Amino acid sequence: QSVLTQPPSASGTPGQRVTISCSGSSSNVGSNPVSWYQQFLGTAPKLLIYSNNQRPSGVPDRFSGSKSGTSASLAISGLQSEDETDYYCAAWDDSLNGRVFGGGTKLTVL
């Protein structure tokens, strides 16, 4: 059972906008920045979003992040087939004194 809750799956058609949610609590998402990672099977994760809504250089602006209260979201606009993979959210947890991940969301492009 992950500390941060993500839907196990999400889907969309090419060109569509999809969002993936990440629900936490006051000790993690509610009080610390959220980051998002993209991971293809058998490879290392890649940082997509940090500090709730900042993109590292090289990440397309189709990817955006937001946060409100104890929930965060990753939005992918102009969905492409190559976006089909796993996505994880993460944040520091002040109660656990450690970093926590969501359980991951498998995105399918229909």
Partner 1 sequence: EVQLVESGGGLVQPGGSLRLSCAASGFTFRTYDMNWVRQAPGKGLEWLSYINRGSSHIYYADSVKGRFTISRDNAKNSLYLQMNSLRAEDTAVYFCARDRAATAREGGMDVWGQGTTVIVSS
Rounded CA gap, 105 and 93, in Å? 20
Amino acid at 36: W
Residues 93, 3 contacting (CB under 8 angstroms): yes
CB of 16 to partner 1, least distance (A): 25
Of 18 and 55, CB closest to partner 1: 55
List residues near partner 1 by CB under 8 A.
2, 32-35, 37, 39, 43-47, 50-51, 56, 88, 90-92, 94, 96-104
Q: How far is the CB of 64 from partner 1 (least distance, A)?
A: 15
How far apart are CB 21 and partner 1 at their closest, in Å?
Answer: 16
65 Cβ contact list (under 8 Å, min separation 6): 34, 36, 48, 49, 52, 53, 54, 72, 73, 74, 75
Whichever of 37 and 64 has its CB closer to partner 1, that residue is 37
